[in-house]
Structures are given as structure tokens and as C-alpha cells.
A and B are shown apart, each in its own frame.
Chain A
């Protein structure tokens, strides 16, 4: 008898949600997040959020060019725990190491065009000279709270190195996609010099 009474008392808290609103809200949240926080590189520093956070984490770990390399797993682990609560951190780290003008200098097998890299527990990395150039102006960077609200991370890394122009970037978001080829650093520098001297210029072909 007592049991029955208890069962009758259970009234579930059920509210209604219109499926159209739900679909729309979900795709909006997802789309905005993907756009702002996942696949597109910021034009100011050329990093995707995951890449920026890895460089930022490496700075936290003080893995500078003159110090010892640290295990990749330490960087990715810290990065995921502190700033980037997703699963793709090691892939981003490998891409940073393997780019033409790397901001991270790797130690160990980071793979080649045919083979994947060694697991993150084997490889090691530290910030390269180029990476230090990127981080030179850090004191003036805007910082925002991380996902948990307990730590700060940069919106962009203000950089003296033209990272956006020399690093390739590809990504597909909701409604947008980006595809930027890598450029030669010397040519980019020449182009900058010309723009500084003569003002805006246009490529006229040859």
C-alpha cells in the first residue's frame, strides 16, 4: 500500500519544446561555435583557436627555444584541460610542427606525407624562434576567460611574424568555408616593403 502511494506521487516535470525552435537554436549555436571557435583562422594572427591555444599552453609550460623540449602529451593535456575542451589538440600540434614556418619545433617522428606521426607520449616539442617572434608582443594582447571561466587566454596573438600569409589554412564551417594557400616568406616580406613605400598595390600578373 505504501509503495503504491509513492508511485502515484511522482509527477514528471515535462515542458514542451517546438521542434522548429529546437532545430534552429541548435544549428545556430553549433554554427556560431564552429565559425568562431573551430575551423577558421583569425586573419590577425593566422591561427585557428586550437593552434593558438597550443602555442599559448607551450608558453605556460615555458618550453622556450633555449630550454628542453617537453612531451607533446604535456602540451596537449594542459591545453585540453585549460583552454580547449575538445579532442583534436594533438593533430593541431602536429600541423604546427610540420608547417613551412613552424612556430613549434618538434623532436621525434612527426610523420610525413605517407606516414602519421608517433603517438603523443613519444614526441616532444618546444617553441621555435619563429614562435618566439609571434609571442613577442604578448603583453599588449587582449585576454578573455577560458571555457570554465577560471583562466585567461588571448583572443589573438599579436605577432610581428606574418603568420597568416605564410601558413596555409583550410576548414569547412556552417555556411562558410576557408581555403588559404601557403606563401613564400621572402615574397611576402617584399610585398610588405612595397606596400609600405608605395601604398596599396595590386598584383597584375606577369
Chain B
């Protein structure tokens, strides 16, 4: 049993009133107050700024000045809006100026007549700032007599009455007629780590705000240095920040929705979404609606099932929605959840975008063509775009130098069709080969069993930039030596050899290696086989040697009968296992000399890819059947 002495009764229930409630749990109102720079401290600034922006949205304000002193950390916000109303408010029982900054949920944002839409909405803004500041002072001239009134506060409590005053000299130049001035100093007791404002973040968000609020002039003055944020055209300037041509920009706007879409040649796509001048970094229903509109229209123009990411490739878009009662997922307003916004966006943007595409048919066609091409590429091979880029670099390399590759004499033989490349298994045959070969013959040595392209992933074949894997060396050297490219990039004119001859040993491992090589060619260079460039050597397994004659055969008996026919009795028979076993002369006779060698040209058939999967791929059934293995 846990015994406790503290009593828990009706007196234990505490009822926190302003400003203690805010000061007690600041994170409920403005986010985390700790950290340097802290998120909460920035929100203070943003809450006051939002109030000024709401005046802009209501069409009453075109100037905002933000002043920040990096030594004292005092921040001042000046706008040319209507000003906070000054005068007795009977419901609150106090002056409305006092009520706005000392009462939670007091404000004009609940009145739809005064503000149709607003970026701040919970009425917490100014009062929370007040509660968390050691000093806060408000000026406003929205009174009956149009004179300036001011009041000061400390930690949320008023330290003076609402007094008539003269506008301070330093602010005079920024006020034209009406306006509000708020200045405050954050409380070090709440923001324990630092009361320094995150100026870079402020600049970043002002940069967004200026596109969302065209013709709103924002001045940021830090220690006297002034920076201006102003955009004439709004969103369409946001999507074309780089110097693209402006012809490719689609824009649409009505009272609630602002859309801009730029068709660039950049890699990837970028969409930004905003609701009531707040950046929604996780998007939400408004962005979904926008994307759906684009995708539906483009997909309507293609018969293929093209992929979304390919359609959006190169697009830079932005959407800004004004939503009367926005609902967000999460406290920090980063994902809009109002489902009606999606249908609204689709209904509004679809006709406009369809019309625009009709005018700019080439752009639509380009998108469809690109997406269809990418789809075909993706279906054919698993290699990603980035990989293909790496491989094409490999192909364009003018000279390819490797100790495993010996090129033919290209000065003597100008036409690559006359040249032959032998893919030789292992060093033991390769050494011979280099002595026996003619000037039009090149050799590429591969070591042991190469990777099975029918099973392996594209990354393990060609490497990937992410893992800094270089891929399979043998595969890379085959690609570089042939120079003709892969898959759709296959270019017959760049092929550096007329014949590619697989010269693996005549034992079962050699057969396996031949299959592994074919597996790569079928998967990634089918055209090489289709155009009849791939050969295997039709080599005998047995050689009968005698002083008078030499006979070849696939079996010992075949050699025997041939020798008998010639009447030779004194001969040795050599079983040719690997090419390392025969002499350079024999190799030349059997494989290299055009007069005496026998080649087999490999013929492509329609179901070859299927057959490859059966013999070398993941389909084990066929192989079990072939070998007579029962489950």
C-alpha cells in the first residue's frame, strides 16, 4: 500500500486564469519554449505577424514593418491596418484594447464580417505573446476620435491604463493613416535557453509570404539594416524563381484559390502548398486536389497506365487556399484536413487547366510522351534512371583500358563489323589466346562464374551511387568493351565489334558460364542477339593426334572411327576440358582461324525471355522437371 498524506478534495482543484495558464503551460499555446533558437519564441513573432497579415487579407493593409534589435531582443511589429479597436467593450467589462491582449479567445477572428478568412484563428495570438513577455506595449488609433492610444503590460498584467498619447517619432515614418504597433520583449524565465529570435527562419517564411500576398510590402529591419520583401505577381513568381521562360506557366486564381504551375526541365518535381498564408509542409487536401487535377487531365490523354511521378516530372507548382474554417492535423498547422477543399480545388482548377492545355498542346504531348517512355523503360528493366545515367557515361568513354581487355587493331581494320571480340574464360585460356589471336580479334577475360543477370538486381550489376557500390566488374567491362549501350539505349552504330564470340571451356562449368553470359545479353542487350552478333564456338571435345593427321570429334568413339577410316592405328586421344589444355596452334585452328573454325550463331526466338526465366531465373519448376527431380 502506498500511503499519502496529501489530501485531495475540492480545494485541490486549481483554476488557472490568464496569464498564469499560458505561463504555466506555454507549449500548449505556442509550442516548445526550450531550445536555441526555440520554436515557441518564433511563434510569438509569427502570431503578431499573422494579425497584420489578416489585415492584408481583409484588404486594409499593404505595409508591414518588423524591427528587431539583436542586442536587447526587443521586437516591434508595425502595420498600416485598421488598428485594434480602442473603446469600452461591455461584454468583456474592459477596454477592447486590453481585452485583445489579455483575454484568451478574444479577438475579431470569430466575427466573419470583420475577417472572412485569417491565418491566425484561435484568438490566442496576442494574449499569449503578452503573457510570455516581460514587457509589451500596444499602440492603436482605431478609436472614435482617431487619436493614438497606448497601454503597457508586464508578464500579461497591465502596468498602465489605456492612455491617450502621441505617436513616437521613430514609428511616425511607417504609419500613413491608421495602424497597430506592438512591441515586446520575451521573458527569459519562460524561454530558458535563449530569447534570441530565429532570424533566418523569419526571413525564409517572409520569402514565402511575399509570394502569397502580392503587393504587400514587408520591411524587415534588423539593427537598422533594412530588407524588403515584395512581389508584384505572387505565386507565378514563386514557381519561376530561376530564370525560366514565363510562357510555360499556368496560373489560376479566384477568391479562395490561387494556383501557379510551371513546366520546367528540372529533375524531380516540387510542390508547395499554403493555407491562409501558412506554409503547410505536409500538404493536405488542397495539394491533393491540385495534383489529382493535373494527373487526371494528363492520364485522360494517354492510353497507357502512366505513372504519377513521371507525369509530375519537372513541374514546379504552388497552391494557396483561403479556407474559412481550416482544420489541421497537428498543432503546428502543417497538414490541412478539410475534405471539402479537395473537391473545391478540383472543380475550380480542372476547366481552367484543360483550357490551358488545349492552347499549349505541345507541353501536354511532351508530358505524355515522357511518361509513356519512362513506363516502357521501367517495365522492361528494373534499373533506375540514375543507374542508366551512370552506364551511359561508361559507354561514352572513348578509350577503355583494362588488363583484362585487349582491343583489336583499329588502325588496320577501320570497319568495326570486321572485328571480333572473344569472351574468354579465365587466365589459363586467355594467355594462349593473346598469342594466337589475329589483329582483328580482341579478347576480354572474365574470371570464374559471373553474376546471374536474370536473378541479380540492377544495383548489384551496375552499382548504385547511394551505396557507392561499383557494381559487378565483369559486367562493367563487358558493357564498356561493346560500347553499344543497354536496353532502349542500344545503338547498333556504336557497337565496336561485328561478332561477339563466347569462348568458354567445353566442360559443364564452361556451359554454365556461357549460360550466365547469355543471361546478361538476353536481359540487358536483347538486340545484340536479335541482330545476330553473338556466337559460340562449336568446339570438339576430343582430339586425335598422330604423326600423319589430326582428327576431332565430340566423343572418343567418333575420333576412333575417323582414325580407322584413315587407316591410322598409332595415335593419342586428348580430352579437351579447358582451352588451357590445348596449344596455341590448336586454339587458333579450332576457334580463331576463319578457314578451319566452326561457329554457331545464336538465334533469337519469341519466347526467349520466358525460357531464360525458366533456365536461369527464379522459376525452379522447369529445372526440376528437366533434371527429373520430383518434389
Contact = CB atoms under 8 A, between A and B. Distances in A.
Q: Are A and B co-members of a single complex? A: yes
Interface of A: 10, 12-20, 22-35, 85-86, 147-149, 174-176
Interface string B611-631: 110011000100110110100
B597 interface: yes
B594 to A, nearest CB: 5
Given A12-B599, A24-B615, A35-B627, A19 B577 contact: no
A30 B513 CA distance: 10
B575 A15 contact: no
A13 B594 CA distance: 8
25 contacts: A10-B594, A13-B599, A15-B600, A15-B601, A17-B536, A17-B600, A17-B602, A17-B603, A19-B522, A19-B529, A19-B603, A19-B605, A20-B605, A20-B611, A23-B518, A23-B612, A27-B511, A27-B515, A28-B626, A30-B512, A34-B508, A85-B507, A149-B575, A175-B627, A176-B624
A30 B556 contact: no
B608 interface: yes
Nearest to B596: A13
A24 B575 contact: no
A27 B511 CA distance: 7
B509 interface: yes
Contact of A16 (B509, B577, B603): B603
B575 A147 contact: yes
Contacts of B598: 13-15
Contacts of A27: 511-512, 515, 615-616, 623, 626
B604 interface: yes
B627 A174 contact: yes
Contact of A29 (B511, B605, B620, B623): B511
B538 interface: yes
Given A19-B608, A22-B536, A14 B627 contact: no
Nearest to B538: A15
A102 to B, nearest CB: 29
Nearest to B542: A149
B278 interface: no
A26 B514 contact: yes
Nearest to B606: A20
Given A30-B515, A33-B508, A23 B626 contact: no
B595 interface: yes
B608 A148 contact: no
B607 interface: yes
Nearest to B599: A14
A29 B626 CA distance: 10
B599 A30 contact: no
Contacts of A32: 627
A86 B515 CA distance: 19
Contacts of B518: 19, 22-23
A176 B623 CA distance: 10
Contacts of A29: 508, 511
A18 B508 CA distance: 19
Given A20-B608, A23-B616, A24-B626, 10 more contacts: A15-B601, A16-B600, A16-B601, A19-B604, A22-B518, A22-B536, A22-B600, A23-B518, A23-B612, A86-B509
A33 B506 CA distance: 13
Contacts of A19: 518, 522, 529, 602-605, 608, 611
Nearest to A23: B615
Contacts of A23: 515, 518, 611-612, 615-616
Nearest to A31: B627
Nearest to B511: A26
Interface in B221-274: none
Contacts of B507: 85
Contacts of B605: 18-20
B626 A17 contact: no
Nearest to A15: B600
Given A19-B603, A28-B627, A12 B612 contact: no
Nearest to A18: B603
A147 to B, nearest CB: 7
Nearest to B608: A19
Nearest to B516: A26
A125 B563 CA distance: 44
Contacts of B612: 23
A32 B624 CA distance: 11
Q: Which 8 A-B pairs have the closest CB atoms?
A: A33-B508, A26-B511, A17-B600, A175-B624, A30-B512, A20-B611, A27-B615, A26-B515
Contact of A85 (B529, B577, B626): B577
Contacts of A175: 620, 623-624, 627, 629
A23 B536 CA distance: 12
B305 to A, nearest CB: 31
Contacts of A15: 538, 598-601
A8 B11 CA distance: 115
Contacts of B514: 22, 26
Contacts of B629: 175-176
Nearest to B612: A23
Contacts of A85: 507, 577
B601 A148 contact: no
Contacts of A31: 623, 626-627
Contact of A13 (B509, B597, B602, B626): B597
B439 to A, nearest CB: 14
Contacts of A34: 508
A201 B594 CA distance: 67
Q: Which of A18, A19, A28 has the most CB of B within 10 A?
A: A19
Nearest to B504: A26
B362 to A, nearest CB: 43
